[in-house]
Amino acid sequence: MPPLAAIILLQLSLVCWSIAWRLRIGYRWLPPSGQNNAKLSIIIPARNEEGNIQKLLTSLTAQSHPPLEIIVVDDHSNDATAERARQAGAHVHPAAPLPDAWKGKPWACQQGAAISHGDWLLFLDADTQLEPNGLNRILQLCTAPNKVHSICPFHHTLNPYEQLSGVFNILMASSLLRKNEADLFGQALLIHRKSYALIGGHSQVAAATLENLQLSKRCHDMGLDTNSYLGRGVLQMRMFPLGLDQLTQSWRKGLKEGKEATSSPQFLTSIVWISAMNLWWIACLISLFGTTPASLATLTLLYLLITLQFHILLSDVGRFSWWTRFLWPLLILHYQWQYFHGLHDIKQGKPCVWKGRHV
């Protein structure tokens, strides 16, 4: 009986695997290079980013089409962020004291926008980097003022623990990249000054942990056209250079708001994809009580099919080690441990600490 049960579970897993290809529906890529002389102000909110800010600014100054200005808003850093930014040639604006009703990043973005002069505003996280000629491709989006754009940076990983972000990156991309009324990524946001004023700027999302999701809703309410793209070949990031604890805190802080912002079809597709991998795991455990050549062959075939799917989905969103594709069973277990641990923290009302602040 155990082999038959395993075969049934594997058949269900195969059905889920087939449906999970819907995760790629809505994926969009930036247009090729061209001619666009839009006046662009780049605003970079930065808190304790001395290890990242110089890399970003170096990538910006190396672009073939430089922006009108680069503004770094120093969000009360206690490291050398401001000094490194000045050395790289950026205009550094010290953030005013944080009001009670504001989170740090929206407050920094709002102040940067207030002192900028460009027609278009590009908000960039300090841990991103432009690829060669990447800014030119972003400039091709500066067309209609009623269009708001965002980019999901291509995740560049180096250390083994960073591979654990694979499942999170795939789910983040698939949940926000929708054909209609796309949600906006927070790492790179491009908006016309008139549209920014129309939505009330970041003042309307002052208390949001994931301000990009609330900005998306605000844009939709005001009738703006939102568009999101994958950043391969244009924009990259290294999210967690400081260790596993940084990775854990980052993904947990976005758990609740991220889940609530995901559309129902994509949320269900995500569940189906995770179910495909979980059913494979359960079938493996059942097979320990007895197996047949048929069930073993089916287990192996499905493992290879899921590995292929994981490889394609992972290649869209980041540069991961080759062996990560084959270790997806461990990555899905880590994801679920983080997910349920995060739900427990939410239920207990336990805050997450991020860059020295409770969020």
d(CA 311, CA 213): 28
pLDDT of residue 294: 78
pLDDT of residue 355: 52
d(CA 348, CA 343): 9
Residues 6+ apart with CB under 8 A from 257: 208, 209, 210, 213
pLDDT of residue 258: 55
Backbone angles phi, psi at 116, to 5 degrees: -80, 165
C-alpha dihedral sign at 117, 122, 124, 128? negative
- The end-to-end CA distance of the chain, in Å, is 50
Q: Where are the alpha helices (DSSP H) in the chain?
A: 2-19, 53-61, 81-87, 104-115, 134-139, 166-176, 193-198, 211-221, 244-253, 255-261, 264-287, 293-317, 328-348
What's the angle, vertex CA 304, arms to CA 300 and CA 309, rounded to 5?
150
Provide long-range contacts, Cβ within 8 A and 24+ apart, for 305-310.
305/14, 305/17, 306/13, 306/17, 306/276, 306/277, 306/280, 309/17, 309/20, 309/21, 310/166
pLDDT of residue 1: 46
Backbone angles phi, psi at 326, to 5 degrees: -85, -10
Question: All domains of the chain, ordered by start, with CATH?
Answer: 2-24+262-346 (no CATH), 40-244 (3.90.550.10)
pLDDT of residue 190: 98
pLDDT of residue 18: 93
pLDDT of residue 307: 96
Residues 6+ apart with CB under 8 A from 250: 239, 240, 354
Alpha-carbon distances of 111 from 73, 92, 97, 188, rounded to whole Å: 8, 12, 11, 17
Give the pLDDT of the chain (359 residues) as one tens digit per residue. 466 777 888 889 999 999 999 888 878 899 998 888 899 999 999 999 998 999 999 999 999 888 999 999 999 999 999 999 999 999 999 999 999 889 999 999 999 999 999 999 999 999 999 999 999 999 999 999 999 999 999 999 999 999 999 998 998 888 776 655 678 888 999 999 999 999 999 999 988 877 888 899 999 999 999 999 999 999 999 888 778 887 877 776 666 555 555 556 777 888 899 999 999 989 888 887 777 787 788 889 999 999 999 999 999 999 999 999 999 999 999 888 888 877 767 676 666 554 555 55
Collapse the DSSP code of 232 into the 3-class scheme (helix H, G, I; strand E, B; otherwise coil) and give the result.
coil
User: pTM of this prediction?
Assistant: 0.86
